[in-house]
Amino acid sequence: MDRLACVDLPAFPLQLLCRRHPDWARHPVVVVDVDEPTGVILWANEAARAARILPGHRYASGLALASDLRAGEVPAIEIQAGVEEVMAILRDFSPGVDPCSQPGVFWLDGSGLERLFPSMGAWGRRIDRALGRVGLRGSVTVGFTRFGTYAVARAAGRGVITFDRVADEREAARRVPLERLDFEPALRDALARLGVTTLGGFLRLPPGGLLERFGNEAHRLHRLAAGEAWDPLQPSRAPEPLERSIYLDDGERDSQRLLFTVKRLLDQLLDQLAGNKAALATLFLELTYERSGEKRLDAIRPAEPTLDARQLLSLVHLRLESEPPRTAVKEVLISAEEVPATHEQLSLWSQRPRRDLRAAAEAFARIRAELGNDAIVRATLREGHLPEARYGWEPLAVPVMPEPREAPAVRPMIRRVRAPQLLPAQSSHVRDDGWLLRGLEHGAVTHIVGPYVVSGGWWAGDEVHREYHFAQTRNGECLWVYYDRKRRRWFLHGQVE
């Protein structure tokens, strides 16, 4: 079975509050919903519990029991930021991190990590040490099932527990008290009146009776604990970094051409920021010089956070003109510092065309002036008998907006047609037992499908007879080849990708 780990950071909002105020470490500390005497205590540390201050009490009642009580609010935005911080740490140990709806609980996919760590126990200990370095304490349980590792982690409180067998994990989970798990208080109390106080006792109850007496939620928990419900990991995607880069094949020193490179990257970056409902507060431009490898970093700050590409490019232009690159640049990287965008900024962005046809027309004019009026063409379909006659090229006078179609559910294969290329002399018999189509570096042919005959042309006095085949080579290429009966030679006509 695949391995996974459950990380439980108990009283997560309380840990965030204590980390915010490290000087409160020796005092009773509570998290309240409102920082007022009538505020309700939501979480309490061990010192507060020793003074009999419990969740559900009023802040004023807690002060009456301990005069040195410290209290504070932990807003939802701070809890979410803490969850994202922990997920960023955990992604260093597994690409699959699944946060629970309950803040402070996370699952990590451990499949395929056996060769990266000495053991699964070492993996869990490294996770625990990484969280400890940022001031967070909890338990890490490495096992096999989501519910089993969660139950053991909730009961452990601190430390690292590793199971090498499913039976050991199941046995440890059955001993966990129900009060440690996320059961509804009414359900937990009702089960306690029946003498059911552990997960093992809960699993011995008949599922049908649970459904009839306690409802769907109790029945769902029973199926999860018994391993009868399908509950796979659902890892969240790592946030895409706010940066874009491009490596230049030929070093570039001209400021204008570098500006066009920055514009291409900036448009992509602003699209991502708008999708995050954010605006750019600072643009960082990093240029890497070709010969020395030295990096130049410029921080460009607009008058106010913006999504206006034209304004930002004008500032980049001024910076490059005032201080041109000393030598040729081989790599350009831009990144951004973001802030929440206003409604007006997002509305203007949504109204902005994603492609500037006027700027594209100006770029076309520059290309024609430098390379000739026939330099810009587009492919068009034509009526023809042979594959190479079924398409052609025509000049493109003005740029047009694309009209994308909805992508199919299954990615289609693409047959890239090229000019027929003469292959080394072979017999007319196709072979899949070592035929080298493109040399040793591409591998021998392993599988051939065909022939698909294309014949005709007698009406034009130039009869054609081709036998097309799809040939797959050892390195995975799928080549489109044909045998010309008239010339008695093989030709490479394309490739399927």
Can you tell me the distance from the alpha carbon of 273 to that of 267, in angstroms, rounded to the nearest whole number?
A: 10
* Confidence (pLDDT) at 431: 59
Between the alpha carbon of residue 15 and those of residues 18, 137, 325, the distances in Å are 5, 8, 49
Full DSSP string of 65-95: H-TT-EEE---HHHHHHHHHHHHHHHTTT-S
Sheet with 464-473, strands from edge to edge, namely 415-422, 489-496, 478-484, 464-473, 445-456
Instruction: Say if residue 11 is exposed, middle or buried (CB neighbours under 10 Å; 0-12, 13-18, 19+).
Output: buried
Between the alpha carbon of residue 269 and those of residues 281, 353, 496, the distances in Å are 13, 16, 33
Cβ distance 279 to 298 under 8 Å?
Answer: no
Question: Residue written as tokens 């939620």?
Answer: 217
* Confidence (pLDDT) at 17: 93
Can you tell me the distance from the alpha carbon of 62 to that of 78, in angstroms, rounded to the nearest whole number?
A: 24
Please state the separation of Cα 191 from the chain's center in Å.
42
Instruction: Tell how strand 70-72 and strand 29-32 pair up.
Output: parallel
Q: List the structure tokens of 447.
A: 């599988």
Q: Hey, which residues does 413 pair with through a beta bridge?
A: none
* Confidence (pLDDT) at 186: 85
User: Which string of b and e fits 201-234 if b means at least 16 CB within 10 Å?
Assistant: ebbebeeeebbeebeeebbebbbbbebeeeeeee
Q: Which amino acid is at 26?
A: R
Cβ distance 58 to 33 under 8 Å?
Answer: no
Find the helix or strand (DSSP H, E) in which 14 lies.
Answer: helix 12-20
Cβ distance 4 to 166 under 8 Å?
Answer: no
Tell me the three state secondary structure of residue 175.
coil
Per-residue tens of pLDDT for the chain, all 497 residues: 688 999 999 999 999 999 999 999 889 999 999 989 899 999 898 899 889 888 888 999 999 999 999 999 999 889 999 999 999 999 999 988 999 888 899 999 988 888 888 899 999 999 999 999 999 999 999 999 889 999 999 888 789 999 999 999 999 999 998 888 877 878 888 888 889 889 989 989 898 888 888 888 888 888 888 888 777 788 877 777 788 899 988 888 888 888 888 898 988 888 888 888 888 888 899 999 988 888 888 888 888 888 888 888 888 898 888 888 888 889 999 898 888 877 766 666 555 656 667 777 777 877 877 777 778 888 888 877 777 777 788 888 777 777 767 766 666 777 777 778 787 766 555 555 567 666 666 677 777 887 788 877 665 566 788 888 888 887 778 888 888 877 778 888 888 87
Can you tell me the distance from the alpha carbon of 3 to that of 135, in angstroms, rounded to the nearest whole number?
A: 27
Report CA dihedral (228, 229, 230, 235) to the nearest 10 degrees: -120
Can you tell me the distance from the alpha carbon of 387 to that of 403, in angstroms, rounded to the nearest whole number?
A: 26
Can you tell me the distance from the alpha carbon of 145 to that of 3, in angstroms, rounded to the nearest whole number?
A: 8
Find the helix or strand (DSSP H, E) in which 488 lies.
Answer: none
Q: Which amino acid is at 83?
A: V
Can you tell me the distance from the alpha carbon of 306 to that of 392, in angstroms, rounded to the nearest whole number?
A: 44
* Confidence (pLDDT) at 401: 74
Report CA dihedral (293, 299, 305, 307) to the nearest 10 degrees: -30
Instruction: Tell how strand 377-381 and strand 391-395 pair up.
Output: antiparallel
Instruction: Tell how strand 391-395 and strand 415-422 pair up.
Output: unpaired
Cβ distance 452 to 415 under 8 Å?
Answer: no
Can you tell me the distance from the alpha carbon of 31 to that of 33, in angstroms, rounded to the nearest whole number?
A: 7
Tell me the three state secondary structure of residue 356.
coil
Can you tell me the distance from the alpha carbon of 142 to that of 110, in angstroms, rounded to the nearest whole number?
A: 9
Q: Hey, which residues does 3 pair with through a beta bridge?
A: none
